[in-house]
Structure 1
Amino acid sequence: MTVLLSERSQIFDRADAYAVSEYVNQHVGNHCIRLPPKGRPQASISHRTFSSLDLCRISYGAPVQVTSTALETIYHLQILLQGHCRSASRGKEQIFRAGEVLLINPDDPVDLTYSADCEKFIVKLPVRLFENACLEQHWALPHQGIRFVAERQHLDDMNGFAQLLGLICHEAENAADLEVQTLYERIVAKKLLALLASNVLRVIPRQEEGSGFEAVRQFIEAHLTEDISVEQLMAVSRVSERSLYLMFERNVGLSPRDYTRQRKLERVHAELQKQAARSVTEVALDHGFVHLGRFSEAYRKRFGELPSQTWRRQREPVALGG
């Protein structure tokens, strides 16, 4: 049987449920819980961070209702390991049982009620992970963001996905290097896009369109530490401003400025994850972010945490003997 986090990753065992809930708020996603008025349920949680993913195994030891207005910058992939869960979202109710998978979109209101014997495994995935997977395959990003369709899915029917998660948990508990972690998280995003129904149109541009965009994309990648103007991109692509905007719309669903800004944020994020990274201010300024307050807010919306948190995490000692 696939092991999704062992005792080595345990944070709380038979602990106060509200203490476990507070830990979840700090690491996995903002929510509120409602427990029975009587009794002192004993909750448990195991947790690992793996690149930009958070892996969490949790049980509350009592019937619990979990609510949230929205997850905003992240997706939650939830797998019921035992027990059952009632989901009430956007006027639709579903019951999920052991082995079934629930994926919560960033803008979905959350209203989940878990049985007393329920244990679940959660993977927290940032929005940008799926966006990057689409961009790598030259699929256009939906204007309203990537949304997965709420369909019943059993883990056993997901083409080896359980084994992939087991391998990721093993690597997380054995301190895989950052390059390996990044590779695995990209595989997870691509597998989920392939396995679950979503609003992503898997349309690859015609060759003459894609080749022109590729030249512009390479130019942007080579000049991310510089100010890149629309005029420069017009010169590289040899098209008019209107045609340039249409080219970006067809290929990535973003304007030239938004795409360039997104790639700059991605590069800053990658730099801050390196052990040798300088200060957040220096890295941001190197990539043209002169208004640091606006930069921090854009970074938080993109990655679900402040740049200082990303930078600091690479300097913290590995916990739990991992």
Structure 2
Amino acid sequence: MTDAEYRREEFTTDDEDPTASWDWYLSNRQGSVGLAFRAEEFRSDAYAQNVGRFQIVRFSSAAVDYRRSRRNIRADEGDNSYRLLIPLRGRFEFEQGDSREIFQPGKIGFFHWNRPLFMTHDDTISALIMTVPEGSIDPRRAEDAPLALDEKRPLVRALDAQVRLLVEAEGWTAADFSVAFSGALMLLDGVLNPFPAVGSGTRAADAERARRLIEEHANDRAVTPRAIAAILGISEPTLYRALKRAGYPSPGAMLRAVRVERAHRRLSAALPVDMDRIAFEEGFPSTRRFRESYREHYGRTPAETREDLFGDGGG
């Protein structure tokens, strides 16, 4: 049983020492960041919501430079999370590694919190910043992610809408908020590593049919690569070749990934969990195999994910 609660708080910089109060707030809500204030009369405010590590903050700020150095990163030792940034008003510049982008409403950013970064803006801005906990999305996808997401893709627009909903809706409970937050993470996972477009031809159609079968029936332990090939009326080697040409993983790898990711979404809700039941209902042959597959995919055990998100090993 998790004791995670839904919490929200509002913040406004202190009139007597606004810069010090903003520095304090960022350190407590995001982590260590170096600030260089450039507005004559600095003001900022924020509205934060969270369930465990699932956090989203809406903030506005007068002109300031934000720099997260290696020293800041060391001060937050062990925080390997990411951030999703959705501008609401204004224009600001962002740099991380070799990537440099100008962000404004309509353009979404995704960045590593455990790497140096620099952000600056000349005028007052407002934005949403969503914490993406380590292990909450596929680490390989996160590692290779671009700084700016492609705003022309419908899936990116769906992600934008889902994150805004978290802030705009009222009446959240811990369970509802964590489920909606997990939905945003699922969209983000798809944005960062979409399946490639499949070309034309018979084998391309077989690959798409195989993908749909896997996604629809992955929780059935009787669904195997051999069973999928039989349903399609092709041999297993032909199925493997069709998927490879389409840019997909092997059918066995796709089955494991779908099962693990669905189990992960259940672990990411602030509700009691039963590992044996999750393993059984998501199509794993045993709880032990579920734990092994989960660790291979996310780099941590299911219990470690629960502990990190909600302070609860989850059984």
TM (normalized to structure 2)?
0.57
SS in 2 for 1:86: strand
Structure 1: how far apart are the matches of 2:176 and 2:246?
Answer: 29
Structure 2: how far apart are the matches of 1:209 and 1:306?
Answer: 33
Q: Which residue of 2 aligns with 1:10?
A: 9
Structure 1: how far apart are the matches of 2:59 and 2:228?
Answer: 49
Residue 306 in structure 1 maps to residue 305 in structure 2: yes
SS in 1 for 2:249: coil
Residue 248 in structure 1 maps to residue 243 in structure 2: yes
**Number of residue pairs aligned between Structure 1 and Structure 2:** 273
Q: Which residue of 2 aligns with 1:48?
A: 49
Residue 266 in structure 1 maps to residue 261 in structure 2: yes
Structure 2: how far apart are the matches of 1:177 and 1:295?
Answer: 22
Q: How does 1:114-153 map to 2 (within 5 A)?
A: 114-115=120-121, 117-124=124-131, 147-148=145-146, 150=148
Structure 2: how far apart are the matches of 1:218 and 1:198?
Answer: 20
Deviation at 1:149, TM superposition (A): 7.3
**CA shift digits 1:116-152 (9 cap, x unpaired):** 8544322456899999xxxxxxxxxx99987457489
- The answer to whether the Cα contact below 8 Å between 1:245 and 1:256 also exists between their aligned partners in 2 is yes
**CA shift digits 1:219-247 (9 cap, x unpaired):** 43322xx7x65445555545444323233
Q: Give the partner amino acid of 1:221.
A: N
- The answer to whether the Cα contact below 8 Å between 1:59 and 1:119 also exists between their aligned partners in 2 is yes
SS in 2 for 1:221: coil
Deviation at 1:169, TM superposition (A): 2.0
- Segments of 5+ residues of structure 2 without an aligned counterpart are 1-6, 14-20, 74-78
Q: Which residue of 1 aligns with 2:67?
A: 65
Q: Give the partner amino acid of 2:58.
A: R
Q: Which residue of 1 aligns with 2:34?
A: 34
Indicate the RMSD between aligned Cα atoms, in angstroms.
5.5
- The answer to whether the Cα contact below 8 Å between 1:76 and 1:123 also exists between their aligned partners in 2 is yes
Q: Which residue of 1 aligns with 2:110?
A: 104
Residue 221 in structure 1 maps to residue 188 in structure 2: no
Q: Which residue of 1 aligns with 2:94?
A: 87
Residue 24 in structure 1 maps to residue 30 in structure 2: yes
Structure 2: how far apart are the matches of 1:202 and 1:309?
Answer: 35
Structure 2: how far apart are the matches of 1:256 and 1:73?
Answer: 30
- The answer to whether the Cα contact below 8 Å between 2:67 and 2:116 also exists between their aligned partners in 1 is no
TM (normalized to structure 1)?
0.56
Q: Give the partner amino acid of 2:168.
A: H
Structure 1: how far apart are the matches of 2:233 and 2:135?
Answer: 30
- The answer to whether the Cα contact below 8 Å between 1:299 and 1:307 also exists between their aligned partners in 2 is no
**CA shift digits 1:45-91 (9 cap, x unpaired):** 4222489974222357753213589x977562331534x53322444
Per mean C-alpha deviation after superposition, the further-off stretch among 214-223 and 145-154 is 145-154
Q: Give the partner amino acid of 2:256.
A: R
- Segments of 5+ residues of structure 1 without an aligned counterpart are 1-7, 26-31, 132-141, 316-322
SS in 2 for 1:87: strand
Deviation at 1:17, TM superposition (A): 1.6
Structure 1 residues 161, 283: closer, same or farther in 2, change over 3 A?
Answer: closer
Between the aligned residues of both structures, percent identity stands at 12
Structure 1: how far apart are the matches of 2:48 and 2:182?
Answer: 17
Q: Which residue of 2 aligns with 1:211?
A: 209
Structure 2: how far apart are the matches of 1:245 and 1:107?
Answer: 38
Q: Give the partner amino acid of 2:128.
A: F
- Of residues 252, 256, 268 in structure 2, which corresponds to 1:257? 252
Q: Give the partner amino acid of 2:48.
A: H
Structure 1 residues 207, 64: closer, same or farther in 2, change over 3 A?
Answer: closer
